[in-house]
Structures are given as structure tokens and as C-alpha cells.
Chain A
Amino acid sequence: QKEVEQNSGPLSVPEGAIASLNCTYSDRGSQSFFWYRQYSGKSPELIMFIYSNGDKEDGRFTAQLNKASQYVSLLIRDSQPSDSATYLCAVSNTGKLIFGQGTTLQVKP
């Protein structure tokens, strides 16, 4: 079992819709959870991090964490074509980040 699992996609949504990206992790000791966006040929850029159970909102993005279910998700409201990218979930409990394989999101105009 991979430590951090994501559906590779592609996930295709129409412009203006809500995109829902999911991630599960195996290490119950994980304490920090991150979502990164990576455009093709570029390095990852941090979108959000979440440490506590529940929801955390930042603009069009909402991260949701459920430690009991070992599940973290990212919702993107009012999706735009510029949101088309690979979204990487990363988990940490020792200061090191363990990445999932990423989900490719396609937002169609």
C-alpha cells in the first residue's frame, strides 16, 4: 500500500463547477497535510496546508481533513481553465513530505 494515494485522473470539470480532489494516507501519526499545484514542467507551488480536523477555506479553495478516516480533500470552487494542473497531496509527521502521485485536473471552458 502506498503511503499517500491519489486518483491520477484526469478529472475533468466544466468551467465554473466545483472540482473535488481526494487523498488518503496510511500513517496515522501524520500531523501536517499539504496541497500543492504543479503545472507541467514546473515545480510545485503550495496552495494550502491543514493541521486540524475539519475544513479550512482560502478564497476558492477549501481543504478538508478527517484524521479518523485518514482522508484529506481539496475543493476548488468556480473552477477556471487556469486551474488545470496536477494537484499533489503531501503528508508529513517528521518534517519530511511524502507525496501522492498527483491528480490531473482539466477544467474545460
Chain B
Amino acid sequence: GAVVSQHPSRVICKSGTSVKIECRSLDFQATTMFWYRQFPKQSLMLMATSNEGSKATYEQGVEKDKFLINHASLTLSTLTVTSAHPEDSSFYICSAKYPTSENEQFFGPGTRLTVL
């Protein structure tokens, strides 16, 4: 159990375009999902907390108008990187909070974004 999927696993796009990444909890309902970004040789940095049916909560320094998050159902959250630039190239990872656990999160496999 506790499987989280992400799609796509890898995406290459041109500068200025928008990219949507999907995160799904496959065998449990997740009212809370999280989006992280990881640059090479660095740790995971939390970007935002996605709550089903309400607005996402963004961490300090993360532009909410650039990184649009939608959590429309209990099993799906999406992250859209708008007007992507080369500096947005990174490994984007989502996680879903297990419903019966206070703090336990299960991670998706990640999406490698490359902006040319």
C-alpha cells in the first residue's frame, strides 16, 4: 500500500512554456500533499503544501503565481510551472500524507524537468 505516482517522469520544454506535473495517491486518499524541489547535490526543499479543496500554502520565497498548485480531489494534486525558465530545471517530487499518520509521508518517483 501507500503508493504515490507522478506523471510525467521526465519532461523537456522550451523556455517560456508551461509544464503540468500530476501527483496521485493510488491506494489511499490524501487530503494533504506536498511539493518539493531538489537541485543537484542538494536536499529536498519544500515548495508548498497542497490541501484538498482549498488554496495551497507556499513556503517563503516560492512564487505562487509561477508554481500553480491545484488539489481538486483526494487523490490528485497538480503542479504547473508557468513560463518556465532554465533556472526552473530541477527534480520535482511530490508526497502524500498518509491519512492515519500524523506526519508520515510517502513520496512519488519524481519528475525531472529540463527547461531549454
A contact set with B: CB distance below 8 Å:
31-32, 34, 36, 41-46, 49, 88, 92, 95-102
Contact = CB atoms under 8 A, between A and B. Distances in A.
B109 A88 contact: no
B28 to A, nearest CB: 14
A45 B106 CA distance: 8
B109 A95 contact: no
A96 B105 CA distance: 9
Nearest to A36: B107
B104 A95 contact: no
Contacts of B106: 46
A101 B104 CA distance: 19
A42 B110 contact: yes
A43 B107 contact: yes
A31 B104 contact: no
A97 B110 contact: no
26 contacts: A32-B102, A32-B104, A34-B104, A41-B112, A43-B93, A43-B108, A43-B109, A44-B93, A46-B107, A49-B103, A88-B43, A88-B44, A92-B103, A95-B32, A95-B103, A96-B46, A97-B34, A97-B44, A97-B103, A97-B105, A99-B43, A99-B45, A100-B43, A101-B42, A101-B43, A102-B43
